[in-house]
Structure 1
Amino acid sequence: MSTTPQTVIDTGADLVTLINVFTVAPERQAALVAALDRTTREFFATVPGFRSANVHASQDGTRVVNYAQWASAAHFQAMLRMPEARPHLAAIGALVEASDPKLYEVTSVHRPAR
């Protein structure tokens, strides 16, 4: 059995989900994905309360979505206050035209009928 944290999409999960939709110029999409991947490995994954992250790139090249899970909103807010976070967040911010980060809770999950 793996002990590696995994994304959990369940109404009973004790966590919060950050969904951040980035608007990006198509020629910068790959650089943004690479920056999010690198920052997650090197920094976010080391922060207390981090649970998982998934990066999605739109097929038209204009959006990147970061779906990240944290133990609590307090853990996420504490990360934002860390001085070590600033250079990582600035590097990501330099690549985007806009971002829309919000914290969410899972309210329903649907699967195919059997």
Structure 2
Amino acid sequence: MTSPTTSLSVTTGTDKITLVNVFTVDIERQTELVEALDEATRSIFTKVPGFISANLHVSLDGTRVVNYAQWADKASYSAALQHPEVRKHVEHAAGIAQAYDPTLVQVWSVHNSDADVS
């Protein structure tokens, strides 16, 4: 459950930052990697101050996993990287992946379909 001051929506004009991390992985290890990321998010990151949300995506060709994670601000993300459990998880995920490319970004614009997608 989120607090009334925490918004899970993607919006512009805030201090929130987003980690977009693209992992390259052997096809045989994509499921292993996404399951490790999923478990760490559930058991570690959801308890770290400043963490807002994470979305994990798997490429259809089996060679990539994309982690899109929102943080309250850059300081919260940087502080999280100092936690021993977080560091252990990062090392574990890096050991499964062939490569990874973490990039911090801010939302520039948001567009939604005019169509009713219910």
Q: Taking structure 1 as the reference length, what is the TM-score of the superposition?
A: 0.90
What is the rounded CA distance, in whole Å, between the counterparts of 1:108 and 1:86 in structure 2?
Answer: 32
- Deviations 1:38-68, CA, capped at 9 Å, x for gaps: 0001101110000000000000000000000
Residue 112 of structure 1: CA displacement? 2.6
CA RMSD of aligned residues (A): 1.8
Give the whole-Å Cα distance in 2 for the aligned partners of 1:67 and 1:7.
13
Change (3 A) 1:7 1:33: farther
What residue identity is the alignment partner of 2:48? V
- Alpha-carbon deviation of 1:3? 3.6
Could you tell me which residue of structure 1 aligns to residue 48 of structure 2? 47
**1:1-114 to 2 correspondence within 5 Å?**
3=2, 7-113=8-114
Cα deviation, 1:2-60, whole Å, max 9, x if unaligned, reads: 64777421113441100000000010000011000000011011100000000000000
1:89 Cα deviation after fit:
1.1
Q: How many corresponding residue pairs?
A: 113
Aligned partner of residue 66 in structure 1, secondary structure: strand
Q: Structure 1's 6 and 26: CA in aligned 2 closer, same or farther, altered over 3 A?
A: farther
Provide TM-score, normalisation by structure 2: 0.87
Provide structure 2 residue ranges, at least 5 long, that are not aligned to the other structure: none
The residue type equivalent to 1:81 in the other structure is Q
Does the residue aligned with 2:34 lie in a helix, a strand or coil? helix
- The 1-side partners of 2:44 and 2:13 are apart by 27
Letter paired with 1:80: L
**Would the aligned equivalents of 1:50 and 1:70 in 2 still touch at CA under 8 Å?**
yes
